[in-house]
């Protein structure tokens, strides 16, 4: 796997793991089979994944606990990134909540659940439109100054929001929805590449018409004896050197398939064909 350096000193292999699916249905409660969830997390690390993405809202809370139960004491070099600022009032609700006191409270709870003294990557899950952005960024900056978080990231932001944040805090990563068929954040990817920020696409595997067996993904997958999902992940890795996809699954077989995409080489022509059809 190729690597990228996060924040100047944390090398990340360029295919991570999104742990969200290691929870109950609707990302609510603990997984039905905790032992199986632990096995998936451990297998990810065995396969060379050294960046795992979670959030306080997954469960809520239980996803962080699953990772700690599975992996603590953490192997050297493993980076666990978590997120704050997305509340779960009920099973089917996701609401931004960026009050500074809430951000600080959730940071303390994430530290406790993950059994960490410092969180390597702490990302604002959403900017809460009801709270001044500078107050949300200020809470993150204070946590960093106190040594409770190492690096700060943002999620679901525009270039303008990213630039606003960077006038107040040092941002090292952006986590936006992005895949071959959902590319509204092309400008954010380009900005991150120019500024050497890590871009973490969530929902990294394309779906819909593009993923049909007679679509570009299907055709190229047949050429390479690969799956459409693997080709979609490989396209992301070719799209920009700062991209670190985080495909998630609760299946070891699916996990192994996803990680294998890191070694899938696409030709320039295949990349161009995929990009053109998706565009």
Q: Give the residue numbers annotated as catalytic, written as ranges.
A: 58
**Torsion, CA 150, CA 144, CA 60, CA 95, rounded to 10:** -120
Residues 94, 16: Cα–Cα separation, whole Å: 24
Rounded to an integer, what distance in angstroms lies between the CA atom of residue 207 and that of residue 166? Answer: 33
Residue 221's SS3 state is helix
Q: Is 240 helix (H, G, I), strand (E, B) or coil?
A: coil
- DSSP assigned state of 87: E
Closest CA to 143 of 162, 163, 167, 116: 116
Check residue 85 and give left, alpha or beta (phi > 0: left; psi -120 to 50: alpha): left
SS3 224: helix
Q: List CB contacts of 139: < 8 A, sequence separation 6 or more.
A: 100, 103, 104
What is the DSSP code (8-state) at residue 26? G
List helix spans (H) across 146-199.
159-166, 186-195
The per-residue b/e assignment along 187-211, b for 16 or more CB within 10 angstroms, e otherwise, is: ebbebbeeeebbbbbbbbbbbeebb
């Amino acid at each position: 796997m190729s690597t990228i350096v996060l924040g100047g000193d944390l090398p990340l292999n360029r295919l991570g793991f999104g742990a969200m699916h290691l929870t109950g249905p609707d990302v609510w409660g603990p997984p039905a089979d905790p032992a199986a969830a632990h096995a998936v997390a451990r297998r990810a690390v065995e396969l060379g994944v050294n960046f795992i993405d979670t959030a306080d809202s997954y469960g809520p809370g239980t996803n962080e606990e699953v990772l700690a139960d599975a992996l603590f004491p953490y192997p050297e070099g493993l980076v666990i990134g978590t997120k704050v600022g997305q509340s779960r009032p009920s099973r089917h609700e996701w609401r931004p909540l960026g009050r500074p006191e809430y951000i600080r409270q959730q940071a303390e709870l994430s530290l406790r659940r993950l059994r960490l003294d410092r969180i390597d990557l702490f990302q604002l899950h959403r900017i809460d439109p009801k709270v001044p952005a500078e107050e949300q960024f200020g809470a993150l900056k204070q946590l960093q100054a106190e040594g409770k978080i190492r690096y700060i990231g943002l999620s679901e932001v525009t270039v303008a929001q990213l630039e606003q944040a960077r006038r107040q805090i040092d941002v090292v990563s952006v986590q936006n929805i992005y895949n071959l068929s959902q590319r509204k954040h092309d400008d954010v990817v380009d900005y991150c590449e120019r500024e050497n920020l890590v871009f973490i696409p969530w929902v990294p595997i394309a779906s819909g018409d593009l993923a049909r067996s007679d679509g570009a993904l299907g055709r190229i997958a047949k050429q390479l004896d690969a799956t459409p999902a693997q080709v979609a992940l490989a396209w992301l890795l070719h799209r920009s050197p700062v991209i670190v996809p985080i495909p998630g699954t609760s299946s070891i077989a699916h996990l192994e398939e996803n990680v294998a995409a890191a070694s899938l080489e696409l030709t320039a022509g295949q990349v161009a064909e995929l990009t053109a059809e998706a565009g």
